[in-house]
Amino acid sequence: MTGVKQVLVTGGGGFLGKAIVRGLLDRGDRITSFSRGTYPELAQWGVTQVQGDIADPAAVARACAAKDLVFHVAAKPGVWGPYRDYYRTNVTGTANVIAACRDHNVPFLVHTSSPSVVFDGKDMAGADESAPYPARHRSHYAATKALAEQMVRAAADNALATVCLRPHLIWGPEDNHLTPRIIARAKRLRQVGDGSNRVDTVYIENAAAAHILAAEGLAADRSLSGRVYFISQDEPVALWDMVNRILAAAGRPPVTRRISARGAWVAGALLEAVWKVLFLPGEPPMTRFVAEELSTSHWFDISAAKTDLGYTPRVTISQGLERLSQWFEHTGQRRRS
């Protein structure tokens, strides 16, 4: 993909979206971000910002006009909340993006999916893209992201080339989801299971680079259209070791207390019931989905991304953790012992 391109990034003000915007600006592209709000940092970078609701087809259509490429990153994450809210953003929103790309003859669409679309509550060790969708998804997020991914894959044709990426557990400086959750719950966190489960993660800069490589690969070889790729550090780690390394980067003590996988699952089931019956705000401290995520292995074979997209992680886990520690220090969030 050569020359200056007009590129739309949905969710361009978010953690991953903003990192993709940075990479595209370094490439010399002209960027439009579509989000509910406006972001001063994007304005400083000269990014055009379009405000709107991803579930509003007219707003999405306006944002897609005259674009050469769309990165659809906007989504509703999380593990708790009404199914209709997840469906509205993740499914209806994706349908709107696909329709807008067609209406405005956008030739390329890169969609951010998630490995959770194939998670069945059991260990996934070295799984590749042939892993099937489960008969029953473990959360509303996973279920709606699976529907969205299937829509994007099915939309691939001669007019619109699409590709889906499944980055796993994105983390790094400016993270507003995974890392803050770990730190906020640090005092009451318990290791779930025996601690032997390994997981993949991906540093934010690597995740963003993978998206740009996917767009370039799609433009160079349209036979990649309709495919899906796992994206990670290609370095599976013990989940609880990674949690403790992130806590250490923030100057927090490690997690030392434990609970069995079964105990966490039962606690999650009970807490879900209480939250539903009493209509309590926020999310339960534990859910069945979180218990399964925290006690199982989920790491993936990224050979396809390496071969087809030329993806390799640029930043190692150790390098990323050092950058994260420096960011915590710079922002005053790092505790000193």
Catalytic residue numbers, as ranges: 141
Q: How many residues comprise the chain?
A: 337
Q: Which amino acid is at 162?
A: T
Cα angle: 65, vertex 69, 73; to 5 degrees: 95
The encoded tokens of residue 125 equal: 């060790």
Strands 191-192 and 258-259: parallel
Cα 222 versus chain centre, distance: 24
Distance CA 206, CA 193 (A): 29
Handedness of CA 31, 32, 34, 37 (dihedral sign): positive
Half-sphere exposure of 43 (CA within 13 A, CB side): 6
The residue among 308, 324, 159 whose CA lies nearest residue 252 is: 324
